[in-house]
Amino acid sequence: MNAIIFSALSGVAMMFTGIFTTNKSAIRNVAVIALLGLIIVNLLHSYGIFVVRVNTHSMLQFETFGLFFNTLVFAATLLFVLLSGKDVTNAGTYGAEYFALIFFVLCGVSILTCYNSLLMLFIGIEILSIPLYILTGADKRNLKSNEASLKYFLMGSFSTGILLMGITLVYGITGTFSIEAMRPAVSVGAPNYGILEPVGLLFIFIALLFKVSAAPFHFWTPDVYDGAPTVFTSFMATIVKAAGFVSFIRLFDARAIEMGISWKIILPVIIIATLLIGNITAVFQQSVKRMMAYSSIAQAGFMLFAVYVNNDMSKEGILLYTAAYSIATIGIFAILTRMKDITFDGFNGLAKKHPVLAATNAVFLLSLAGIPLTAGFFAKYYMLAAVVKENGAGALWLVIVAVLFAAVSVYYYFRVIQAMYFKEGEPEITEVSGGFKTALVMLAVLIVLIGTFPSALLNWFYF
Amino acid sequence: MNATQIVFWFLSALALVSALMVLLSKNPVHSVLWLITVFFAISGHYILLNAQFLAIVNLIVYAGAIMVLFLFVIMLMNLNKQTEPQKNAWLKMAGAISGGCLLMILISLVKQANEITTKTARMKDGDIGLIGNLGKALFHDYVVPFEISSVLFLSAMVGAVVIGKKD
C-alpha cells in the first residue's frame, strides 16, 4: 500500500514541479529523489512499517514476492532515470509531465504485484497502459510516433475490452471478483461452474498475453516500440513488460486449477510460437531498434515459462529475469538514443571511436543472449531448470526447443557486436558525458555481478 | 388490475413499440429519438421497482449523454437522409438468423430459470437500486478500487493535456 500511495503522490508532485520550474535538471533531480523515497517506503512495507494503514477488504494482498518485485522495478526505474533522464526531458515539450506519467505507471505496477481481485487487475492494467499510450506519442512532430501511439491505443483498448468481457463472465458465473476465493484450498467442494468460467479466464489470459506481447498477440509490438521515442521504448520493453508477467503469474497461481488440463497444452504452444516468431523475425531486421523490439518478444517467450510452471524456482527465475533483462535493455536503449543511425551499419567501428560504449554494449548484448558470466545466463537457466524440476524429463523437449531458439538469438545479438568490433566505419554519435559512461559501466558491472553471484540477489529476496 | 399494473403494461408496450420503431423508421434521426423513448420507458420500469437512482442515471447517461453523441455523429456524417443504401439480401438474412438465435437463447434462458418463476418483482420495498446502498458498497467494500481509479483518471487527464495542448 505504501508504494501505491507514494507513487501516485510522486506523480502529482512531479506535475507541480512542472509548474514551478522549467529547469530540466531540477526536474530530473526531483524525480530521482521521489524514486529513492519510493524504494524506501516499499522496503519499509516489506518490514511491516506502514505509512498509513488501509483496510483493503482483501482487494489487495501483499506478499514478499510482490513487494520484492516492486523494489526491483523501482530500482530499475531509478537506473533508467539516472541513465536516460536527460532523454526523458528532451523527448518532447513536457519533461515534468513525462515523469509524472512514469510515476503513474509505477503505481499501476505496484497494484499489479499485489492485486487480489479482478477489479484491481483491471484498474492496474489500465493505470499501466494509459500513460504509455501518451508516452508513445510524446514526440508530437514525428509522424511515426503519432502512428504508434494511435495504433497502441486502439489495440490496447480492444484488448481491455476482451479483459472486461472475461471478468464479466467469471463474475457472472462465480459471483465474486476475488481470485483468492477460487484458490484450490478454499474451493474444495466448490460447485462446478461449467464452461463459462474457463471461457472467461481464457479471455482474461488473451488480454494479458496481449500486454506482454506474446504470439499470436504480438503484432502491435514492433510498430509501437519502433515508433515510440527510444527512451520510452526502453521503459515499455522492460519495466512494464515485467509487471505484465507478474500479474499473469498471480492470476495463474490462483486460477490454474479452474482452467483444467488444457493449459498444459495451450501454454507450450504459445511459448514456442512466441520464441519462433520473435527470434526468426529478429534475424531479418535491419534496424537495431526494431531488432530489439522483436528480441523483446523472444524474451517474453522465455519469461512465459514462469507462467507455465509455478514453483519457487520459477519465481526466483522471473525475479532474476526481470533484473537481468531490464538492466541490459535499458543500457542498450540508452546507447541507441545516442546513435544518429540506428541500423546495424550505424554501429560499424564503434569500438575504435568509443571503446567504453562498445564494451558495455557488448556486455549487455551478451547478457541478453544468455552467455555465462552474465546475468542473462542465470535468468534463462532458472527458467528452464524450473520447468525440468516441475515436469521431469517429460518437459525436456520444451527445454531443448527453448535452448535452440536461444542459440538463434545469439546470431542477431552478435551482429551488433560484430559491427562494433570487426567492421570499419565512422559511427555518428551525439556527445556523451563522463557521467553517462560511468553509469553504463556501473550497469555492466551489475550484470556481471548478478551473473557471477545470482544468489546475492535472491538471498535478499528471502531475507 | 391496479394502478401499478396499468403503468407497467403501458410502459412495456411503449418500450416495445418504440424499440420496433427504432428499427423500422427510415430516418436515422427519428431512430435516435425513438431510442430515447425506449430509455424513458425503461427508466419508468426502474422507478416501479423502487430504484430511483438507477432510473435517473439511466436517463442522464443513456438518454442524455450517449444519445446526444449519437445525434452528433449522425449529423456530422450527414446521414440524416431519407434514402438508405440498398442492402444485400444475404446480409439481411444473416442478420435475421443471428438476431433470431439471440432471441431464442434469451427466451430459453428465461423459461429454464426456475428461480424467477416463483418470485415476483418487489414493487415498493425493493432497495437494491437506492443510492444509499450504492454509496455503502462504494465507500465500504469497494473503497480501494474507487479511490485508486482516481489515479487512472488523473493520468488520463494529464495525457489529454500533454497530447492536446499546442506547443
Residues B34-46 pLDDT 10s: 999 999 999 999 8
Which residue's C-alpha cell is 507513487?
A7
Contacting A residues, span 75-94, partner chain B, CB-CB under 8 Å? 92-94
**ipTM score above 0.90:** no
Same domain, B117 and B61: no
Below-70 pLDDT ranges, chain B = 79-86, 117, 120-121
End-to-end CA gap in chain B: 67
Name the minimum distance, in Å, from the CA of A27 to any CA of chain B. 17
Longest Cα–Cα distance in chain B = 67
Same domain, B22 and B63: yes
Same domain, B21 and B59: yes
Task: Enumerate the H helices of A21-140 as residue ranges.
Answer: 24-46, 64-90, 95-112, 118-136
Domain count, chain B: 3
Q: Give the closest of A60, A98, A127 to B144, CB-based.
A: A60
Q: Give the closest of B152, B156, B162 to A123, CB-based.
A: B152
d(CA A281, CA A169): 36
d(CA B104, CA A454): 61
Q: Give the closest of B141, B151, B162 to A94, CB-based.
A: B162
Same domain, B76 and B1: yes
The identity of residue B36, as a single letter, is: I
Annotated domain spans of chain A: 261-463
At A206, list the grid cell: 488473451
Domain membership of residue B45 as a residue range: 1-80
Name the minimum distance, in Å, from the CA of B113 to any CA of chain A. 14
Tens of pLDDT, residue by residue, chain A (463 residues) = 888 999 999 999 999 998 888 888 899 999 999 999 999 999 888 888 887 888 888 888 888 888 999 999 999 999 999 998 888 888 888 888 999 999 999 999 999 999 989 999 999 999 999 999 999 998 888 899 999 999 999 999 999 999 999 999 888 878 888 887 654 444 455 556 677 778 888 899 899 999 999 888 989 999 999 999 999 999 999 988 999 999 988 888 777 666 666 677 888 899 999 999 999 999 999 999 999 999 999 999 999 988 888 888 888 889 999 999 999 999 999 999 888 888 888 888 888 888 899 999 999 999 999 888 899 999 999 999 888 888 777 788 889 999 999 999 999 999 999 989 998 888 888 888 888 899 999 999 999 999 888 887 887 777 6
- Supply the pTM of this predicted model: 0.88
Confidence (pLDDT) at A460: 75
Confidence (pLDDT) at A185: 43
Confidence (pLDDT) at A191: 58
Same domain, B117 and B137: no
Residue of A nearest to B140 (CA): A57
Which residue's C-alpha cell is 535493455?
A329
Chain A interface mutation, best of B155, B157, B165, B166, highest count of A Cβ atoms under 10 Å = B155
Is A141 within 8 Å of chain B by CB? Answer: no
d(CA A40, CA A104): 18
H or E, element range at A279 = helix A263-283
Confidence (pLDDT) at A431: 81
* A1, A55, A416, B61, B139 from A47: Cα distances, Å: 13, 18, 44, 46, 29
Which residue's C-alpha cell is 570487426?
A422
- A97:B149 CB<8 A: no
CATH number at B49 reads 1.20.120.1200
Is B105 within 8 Å of chain A by CB? Answer: no
Task: Let me know the angle formed at the C-alpha of B142 by B136 and B147, rounded to the nearest 5 degrees.
Answer: 105
Which residue's C-alpha cell is 440524416?
B80
Residues of B in contact with A54 (CB under 8 A): 144
**CB environment A78-117: b (16+ within 10 A), e (fewer):** bbbbbbbbbbbbebbbbbbbbbbbbbbbbbbbbbbbbbbb
